[in-house]
Amino acid sequence: MAIQKKMNMQRTISIMTGKGSVNHNDRKFTAQNVDKERTKNNVVYCNENIRTIYHKLFDDAVKRLVPGAGTRRFAATRDIEGTYAFVYAPVGRAFTVDFRNLPECRYQSAWMNPRTGEYSSWETFERTNTRRFTPPCVGELLDWVLVIRKAN
């Protein structure tokens, strides 16, 4: 009966910056400490600039997420998993947030006053495709930050 020995290979991901690092990862040159016999097992999942990938992933979502233009342009960001999002509203007026790119679950939202650092109470809601939010105080010179997070 033949016995097979299972070989455990360590898997790593390397992310480096600079032209030399890309050439190393593409194996255009091989460092002295690299076993050339094992490089055939390397898998390249993506070889693109991280800024390019970020824009491909998030630009459309952020455009749908926030309204406005110029000095009245709202700004938004979120994490990749969709566990939180922030929307900066430069003026105190109602706006709609597009949730279609976020996971279906319950969320909470609160308003943060950037002038004082104080938060409103948290409101829990079920995810829908879109949801309308109105800041606690409405006015052209009243900016706000809407904080959205996954509910526990």
Number of folded domains in the chain?
2
C-alpha angle 128/54/131, rounded to 5°? Answer: 15
Do residues 102 and 28 both lie within one domain?
Answer: no
| Alpha-carbon distances of 105 from 55, 75, 82, 146, rounded to whole Å | 25, 23, 10, 18
CATH number, domain of 106, equals 2.60.40
The verdict on residue 8 lying in a domain is no
Confirm whether 67 is domain-assigned: yes
CA-CA distance, 49 to 38, in Å (whole number)? 26
Indicate if 63 and 133 belong to the same structural domain: yes
The pLDDT tens digits for 18-73 are 555 566 656 566 777 777 787 777 766 666 766 676 666 666 655 555 555 566 77
Residue 67 shares a structural domain with residue 138: yes
| Predicted confidence (pLDDT) per residue in 107-149, tens digit | 999 999 998 999 999 999 999 999 999 999 988 889 999 999 9
Domain with 115, as residue range(s), is 58-150
